[in-house]
Amino acid sequence: MKRAFLFPGQGSQTVGMGKDIYEKYEEAKKVYDEASKISGIDIKKLCFEGPEEELNKTENTQIAILTTSLAILEVLKSKGIEAEIACGLSLGEYCALIYSGIISFEDGIKLIKKRGYYMGNLIPNEEYLMAAVIGLDVTKIEEICNELRDSGNFVVPANYNCSTQTVVSGVKEAVEIAIEKLKIAGARRVIPLNTSGPFHTEKLIKAKEAYEKELENVTFNLKESNVKVIKNIDGTYYNSSDNIKEILAKHIISSVRFDKAIKLMQEENVEEYVEIGPGRTLTGFVRKDNKEAKTYNINSLESLEKYLEEENI
């Protein structure tokens, strides 16, 4: 059976995430402890106790979600559960890269600490907003965003989540105008999101430039991986000829193409999709475009043990 691991991105965090798994499994405990030691952040406290305001800061959110997903992953690996394909949404791609061995655990923790800090702090001092557009053709969304940008209102598609959902991002006033236009154009729903920055847009160019310097200090092992990892920027697999440092830096200012990742996994005849980490967003996207998909979410001790039971482990 062909299995894919999916790793969530920012927005899936909740205070208390991972605590029950940490308390039962030594493998999970070791991941939290090691990540805290490497980063110099008390990640257990951040994840298990919050407060929510601190957990929701981009510089904290990214490393908290990464660590939680990796802790659950380590338990699955200890039970012999593996996947041939891995992908994530934005920061979730780093979980996939660590799982595949393309990035070491230590380098992944260090990179996400810096990435979260730069994405949370190196942005122009403006008010920003992101909104999920549901039930409107993506060409129409792009058309409206282009028209607004041509008139000086900064708003762009940032996340192509699936065929029926696209997230737009930009300056708050421009996104608010876009929301009304998208509704008039026939969007079934347009939902403002609780996010703190114009992620995956050119407004983060300074964050990208700072992050490029961090990437220079890291060694990547593209040739040694047996796991196929899907790139967010174009929905294709990483290959040995890729300039991964350039791709990961560009990732910060480029749209996330999870819709293309879903399509590629369908073409690869993936039978089982396992979302590892807080929330259940990614399997929801998969099911929108692949009604027959067999999906699992592992985000708690209960869901983990239920999955292991179904796998006869």
Q: Is 251 a catalytic residue?
A: no
Taking alpha carbons only, the member of 89, 88, 173, 169 closest to residue 133 is: 169
SS3 content of the chain, % helix, strand, coil (to 5): 50, 15, 35
163 is catalytic: no
CA distance 71 to 75: 7
185 SS3 class: coil
Distances 194 to 84, 131, 191 between C-alpha atoms, Å? 33, 9, 10
Contacting residues for 281 by C-beta, under 8 A, at least 6 apart: 8, 9, 11, 12, 89, 275
H or E element at residue 294: strand 294-298
- Active-site residue, from 90, 100, 169, 254: 90
Centroid of chain to Cα 103: 16
Whether the Cβ atoms of residue 5 and residue 83 lie closer than 8 Å to each other: yes
Output the six-digit token pair for 164. 């029926």
In the numeric block, which tokens belong to residue 228? Answer: 């196929």
- Which of 12, 69, 100, 200 is labelled catalytic? 200
- For the annotated catalytic residues, the residue numbers are 90, 200
